[in-house]
């Protein structure tokens, strides 16, 4: 699943560590999500979207929907 996490984080000038602390996860988790190696659970995805003040589908984009 693609996401705009890195882009949204960069817009705010946040480091991965700062974002990880905000989300109460490890920096490894943030990196894995940003690089598409790990898809977060629905609760974590909602938490990320809320943190950036976005709807969940403005942060995460299912590739299947993109191709359709």
Partner 1 sequence: MNICGTSTPASKRYQRRVMVTMSIYLVVVLAAAWIVKHAHPHGWLLYTIAVVPALPILGMLGALGIYLTEEKDEYIRLITMRSLLVGTAVLLALLMVNDFLRSLSGAAAIPPFVSWVVFFLVFGLAQAVQQMRNRVNDDA
Residues in contact with partner 1 by CB under 8 A are: 15-16, 24-29, 31-33, 35, 37-38, 40-41, 44
Between vectors from CA 16 to CA 54 and to CA 64, what angle results, nearest 5°? 50
CB of 31 to partner 1, least distance (A): 4
Q: Which residue has the tokens 């929907």?
A: 65
CB of 46 to partner 1, least distance (A): 13
Q: Do 4 and 59 touch, CB atoms closer than 8 A?
A: yes
CB of 63 to partner 1, least distance (A): 20
């Amino acid at each position: 699943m693609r996401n705009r996490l890195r882009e949204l984080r960069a817009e705010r000038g946040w480091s991965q560590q700062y974002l990880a602390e905000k989300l109460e996860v490890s920096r490894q988790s943030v990196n894995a999500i940003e690089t598409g190696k790990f898809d977060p659970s629905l609760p974590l995805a909602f938490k990320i979207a809320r943190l950036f003040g976005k709807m969940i589908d403005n942060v995460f984009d299912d590739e299947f929907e993109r191709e359709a």
